Amino acid sequence: MARSDIIVIGAGIIGVTSALALQREGHRVRILDRKGVAAETSRGNAGAFAYTDIEPLATPGILRKAPKWLLDPLGPLSIPPAYALPLMPWMLRFWRASWQDRYAAAVAAQASLMHHSRAALERLIANVDGEPLMRREGQLQVYEGEAAYRASLPAWTLRRQHGVRFDLLESPAALAEIQPGLSPRFTHAGYTPDWMNTVDPARWTEYLAQQFVAAGGVIATADIRALRQASDGVEIETATGTIRADQVVLAAGAWSHHLARTLGDTIPLETERGYNTTFSTASFDLRTHLTFADHGFVVSKIGEGLRVGGAVELGGLRLAPNYKRAETLLRKARDFLPGFDPQGGTQWMGFRPSLPDSLPIISRAPRADRVIYAFGHGHLGLTQSAGTAELVAALAAHRDPAIELQAFDAARF
């Protein structure tokens, strides 16, 4: 295969992993980013490879909850009133994606990408000797009482249908065998033993970037203004001049749709603004990744400490952060985890790139066949990064990808 010059735009986990996969296939690859490696969402996420999360955000009947979202600015999913009107076009697409016909197709597509990504991650870990940066401690999704547990069972049935392995626990004693110290209000749970975490998402992304550079790759900062396809490649307009490449991979997360627009593509990408607080030391003996599904947040190990975060705020890129959301999560964590000390943490907000059907775009640009889109993974960017990278490499080489990509095509919008 002939070597080609490929520029990857974006140094988050999707961009870095894609660059590494392209490099392994013999391409000359450069990464351009406006800030640097893991400078945005890839730095502060929960560190989870959430392969069990196959259900999209747009579930049947979910739009009936929209008024409650507006009335509860600190709830698990909220829309700031100042952003309600700009969000309406996205919400209409979101509503259509929640219809049963499209919902079922989205679940099937997501499950396919999850299966591929899980296998791809294991290949990546082996290729880069990355096992020391992994934690294989499972995940416990807990429920308060019989009613909440029964309401969750259809989602567990859906997981079983798509090959997800889990155990359902129906007593506080069963929960305590996996995670001692939970509040007794939690009586039921689902445990997914194959769930994985990285010890730190920033460290994992930086480690992969180091592997890329050590093998001859280049990472540089650039303020990219526009993309143009020429007869013999792609022109990248930056603040300091024009850069050319044979192909371009656009993996700039929540900012990707701005550059796609310069190619003539209007992509309905919004941002799930996620909040968390990180503690350098652990005041609670966390044995597994904890998911409080009905409260919209998780607690995970990060380094030697803990990270408490989650929630979804559909608020775009410009509104100021509302850190009361992070404080709300800490108050709940204090109540749910007796002995947890919520003092002294570092707050953070990140922009998760979200499309209405909860599926990313992994395809060539409709109007520029030398540009590959790899963005829109929502809160699953880390989870799907290795799988996306292998699919991007297949697209760059003009060979059939490992899974069917029609559901991930930019042309669906």
Q: Is the pLDDT of residue 1 over 50?
A: no
All domains in the chain, ordered by first residue:
5-43+202-266+358-412 (3.50.50.60), 59-99+133-196+269-354 (3.30.9.10)
Over residues 301-309, the mean pLDDT reads: 97
- DSSP state string for 178-202: HSTT--TT--EEEEETT-EEES-HH
Q: Is the pLDDT of residue 86 over 80?
A: yes
Structure confidence at residue 75 (pLDDT): 80
Over residues 100-123, the mean pLDDT reads: 96
Structure confidence at residue 390 (pLDDT): 98
Say which residue, 290 or 3, is predicted with more confidence: 290
Question: In whole numbers, what is the pLDDT of the chain averaged over residues?
Answer: 95
pLDDT in tens, 388-403: 999 999 999 999 999 9
Pull the structure tokens for residue 123: 């290949």
Q: Is the pLDDT of residue 316 over 80?
A: yes
Residues recorded for the chain: 413
Structure confidence at residue 311 (pLDDT): 82
Structure confidence at residue 76 (pLDDT): 80
pLDDT in tens, 335-376: 999 999 999 999 999 999 999 999 999 999 999 999 999 999
Amino acid identity of residue 61, one-letter, is G
User: Regarding beta strands 139-143 and 289-292, do their DSSP bridges make them parallel or antiparallel, or are they unpaired?
Assistant: parallel
Residue 257's alpha-carbon distances to 38, 107, 156, 250, in angstroms, are: 19, 24, 34, 9
Q: How many other C-beta atoms lie within 10 A of the C-beta of residue 317?
A: 11
Closest by alpha carbon to 62, among 357, 362, 371, 352? 357
Q: How far apart are CA 287 and CA 282, in angstroms?
A: 11
Structure confidence at residue 4 (pLDDT): 65
Given a contact cutoff of 8 angstroms between Cβ atoms, the answer to whether 234 and 244 are in contact is yes
Over residues 49-55, the mean pLDDT reads: 95
Q: What pTM does this model have?
A: 0.96
Read off the pLDDT band of 70 (50, 70, 90).
low
pLDDT in tens, 172-224: 999 999 999 999 999 999 999 999 999 999 999 999 999 999 999 999 999 99
Q: How far apart are CA 395 and CA 392, in angstroms?
A: 5
Q: Is the pLDDT of residue 72 over 90?
A: no
Q: Is the pLDDT of residue 3 over 60?
A: no
Q: Which residue has the tokens 């809160």?
A: 379
Structure confidence at residue 198 (pLDDT): 98
Over residues 222-251, the mean pLDDT reads: 96
Read off the pLDDT band of 130 (50, 70, 90).
very high
Read off the pLDDT band of 2 (50, 70, 90).
very low
Structure confidence at residue 73 (pLDDT): 77
Q: How far apart are CA 407 and CA 402, in angstroms?
A: 14
